Amino acid sequence: MSLAETIPHKLQSRIDHIIDNVTPNPWLSEQQKQDYIGKIKVLLKQKNAVLIAHYYVDDELQALAEQTGGYVSDSLDMANFGAKHPAETLVVCGVRFMGETAKILSPEKTVIMPTLEAECSLDLGCPVDEFSQFCDQYPDHEVVVYANTSVEVKARADWIVTSSNAVQIIQHLMAQGKKIIWGPDRHLGQYINNKTGANMILWQGHCVVHDEFKLYELEQLMKKYPDAEVLVHPESPESVIAQADFVGSTKQIIAAGKASKADTLIIATDYGLFYKMSQTVPDKRLIPAPTGGKSATCKSCAHCPWMAMNTLVNLYETLRDTKNVVEVDEQTRQKALVPLNRMLDFSYQQGILTAGDA
């Protein structure tokens, strides 16, 4: 097996161990929740801070971001919002690479997170030293990486892409006759290969949430709801994508749900998106695609365990103490900014919507 296969495979047991040992959320009564929310709102004003939450964190954090003039979106859109917002401090509710992305675009601002231990299996499964060694085997290839990577891996790349603009960027590189290395998500990479015929060399990482969606159980669910439309994120397995009525990014799934004439939507992405989906299509039945059943049991059960590590308690403590500060080496940041700006410039020139596309 190649490095692209052996490294993610070797790291899987470590990733599983980390998931198995994630600290459960503290239980809070409704009164305790309201107390924390009130204190957080005061601290946001006192510290000239804005709360920016990912679609996949718990509902109460997304609601709090909306209530306080913050923002709920995907990782790149979160970072763009933070860069344009006048707040001196960005409070990022999500996983660690999202805080890093915000820091890449806002080096002059303080970026803090409820916890720095919230990881991502795509990030963990693509360590920079091994990925660089893999890339070095193909010196005539362009290195294209997904936004769900560390700042160090971004700095090693020629291009950074999101799930909305990846197909167009790969087509652009193909038109130039470029050979391409893709990392880290194998399912998204295969989806792009199938759409473009690119024949990219794929790093074999995966998202622990989307990798668990199961074809057999999905087919059974589709039989139960024959009029439902199936909306799938492209980090899902190829067999699940093949059943989709629509394939797209988080924000694209929301838009597709709004445009759909179906009364029932089966959705294959993190359950956290249902908060925004319910706001957008309150009259539709929303059903999560199955992650377990006869063919398998689930670890994530359609909700990222690391996203769930963001809580009202550690959000309050982070704001109170200004801790969990995201630090990014300046030289590495400058290197990562090059492929990030390359993606942004291309997308603006092509009229591709880059906000809300991870």
Residue 299 pLDDT exceeds 80: no
The domain spans of the chain are: 15-118+306-327, 122-206+332-350, 210-288
- At 11, is the pLDDT very low, low, confident or very high (cuts 50, 70, 90)? confident
Tell me the CATH number for domain 15-118+306-327.
3.40.50.10800
Annotation: CATH topology of 210-288: Rossmann fold (3.40.50)
Domain range 122-206+332-350, CATH architecture? 3-Layer(aba) Sandwich (3.40)
pTM of the model: 0.92
Mean pLDDT rounded to a whole number for the chain? 92
pLDDT of residue 76: 84
Binning the chain into helix, strand and coil, the percentages to the nearest 5 are 50, 15, 35
Question: Could you tell me the pLDDT band of residue 296, with boundaries at 50, 70 and 90?
Answer: very low
pLDDT digits (tens, 9 = 90+) for 46-59: 999 999 999 999 99
Please give the pLDDT value at position 67: 98
Do the domains 122-206+332-350 and 15-118+306-327 match in fold?
Answer: yes
pLDDT in tens, 162-203: 988 999 999 999 999 999 999 999 999 999 999 999 999 999
- Pairing assessment for the beta strands 285-288 and 246-247 based on DSSP bridges: unpaired
**Which range among 90-99, 273-282, 345-354 shows the weakest confidence by mean pLDDT?**
345-354
pLDDT at residue 255 is higher than 80: yes
* pLDDT average, residue stretch 66-70: 98
User: How many other C-beta atoms are found inside a 10 Å radius of the C-beta of residue 358?
Assistant: 27
Identity of the residue numbered 145:
V
> Across the strands, what pairs with 89?
49, 110
> What was the pLDDT predicted at 2?
75
Closest CA to 82 of 56, 51, 57: 51
Residue 224 scores a pLDDT above 80: yes
Work out the percent of the chain whose per-residue pLDDT is above 70. 95
In this predicted structure, what is the pLDDT of residue 349? Answer: 86
As a whole number, mean pLDDT of residues 278-304 equals 81
Q: What is the pLDDT of residues 105-152, one digit of tens each?
A: 999 999 999 999 999 999 999 999 999 999 999 999 999 999 999 999
| Separation in Å, CA 80 to CA 74, 114, 351 | 10, 20, 17
**pLDDT of 295:** 46
Task: Output the pLDDT for position 297.
Answer: 53
Query: Residue 1: which pLDDT band, with cuts at 50, 70 and 90?
Result: low
Confidence bin at 270 (pLDDT 50/70/90): very high
**pLDDT over 70 (residue 273):** yes
Q: Has residue 13 got a pLDDT over 90?
A: no
Contacts of 165 (CB under 8 A, 6+ apart): 343, 346, 347, 352, 354, 357
